[in-house]
């Protein structure tokens, strides 16, 4: 609530806020981490492109990427992280380029697994959450990087479906959320 109300007035304090967030990532357990990720979303939304300063990226992104690398593709804990990165990449803009490859690749792999039935998730609602969050995160990367995403799309070597095939399947998905 404080971040939402303060908005751009937080800009002079981003560094201190990120230090606290970094400390919290080291200490928080699963349930509190979800709230922490929501706090990061709100901060990114409040300060926008100011988050793209290299010193801020150096504080925030290692925490997020460490979490990214520690969660399996079918873990529900991935959903709030996807949502958080969606906001963060929008705020970072082109500065998110160095994090784009692993994120983009994982999103495509998850979509492929979901639509091929290899994800190990049985519930339709869970399935649509993973699909929707993957698509949202890929959309955020597209907005952030614009033409900078082209090499990722073009060079994407993938054993399953191509990105265009997956997007076509997603467009035909009957679930309203997707």
b/e 115-141 (16+ beta carbons within 10 angstroms → b): beeebebeeeeebbbbbbbbbebbebb
CA distance 127 to 121: 7
Give me the pLDDT at residue 8, please: 87
Of 94, 39, 47, residue with least CA distance to 64: 39
For the full predicted model, state whether its pTM sits above 0.75: yes
Over residues 54-107, the pLDDT tens digits come to 999 999 999 999 999 999 988 888 999 999 999 999 999 999 999 998 999 898
pLDDT given at position 42: 95
Give 121-175 pLDDT, tens digit per residue: 444 556 788 888 999 999 999 999 988 887 777 655 444 567 777 777 777 877 7
The string of pLDDT tens digits covering residues 9-60 is 999 999 999 999 999 999 988 779 999 999 999 999 999 999 999 999 999 9
For position 123, what pLDDT does the model report? 44
């Amino acid at each position: 609530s404080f971040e939402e109300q303060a908005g751009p007035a937080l800009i002079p304090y981003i560094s201190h806020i990120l230090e606290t967030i970094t400390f919290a990532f080291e200490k928080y357990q699963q349930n509190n981490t979800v709230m922490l990720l929501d706090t990061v979303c709100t901060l990114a939304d409040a300060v926008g492109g100011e988050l793209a300063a290299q010193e801020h990226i150096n504080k925030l992104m290692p925490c997020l990427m460490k979490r990214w690398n520690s969660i399996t593709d079918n873990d529900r804990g991935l959903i709030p992280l996807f949502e958080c990165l969606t906001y963060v990449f929008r705020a970072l803009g082109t500065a998110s380029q160095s994090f784009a490859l692993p994120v983009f690749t994982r999103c495509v792999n998850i979509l492929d697994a979901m639509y091929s039935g290899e994800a190990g998730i049985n519930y339709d609602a869970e399935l649509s959450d993973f699909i929707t969050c993957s698509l949202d995160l890929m959309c955020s990367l597209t907005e952030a990087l614009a033409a900078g995403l082209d090499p990722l799309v073009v060079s994407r070597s993938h054993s399953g479906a191509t990105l265009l095939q997956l997007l076509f399947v997603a467009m035909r998905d009957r679930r309203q959320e997707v």
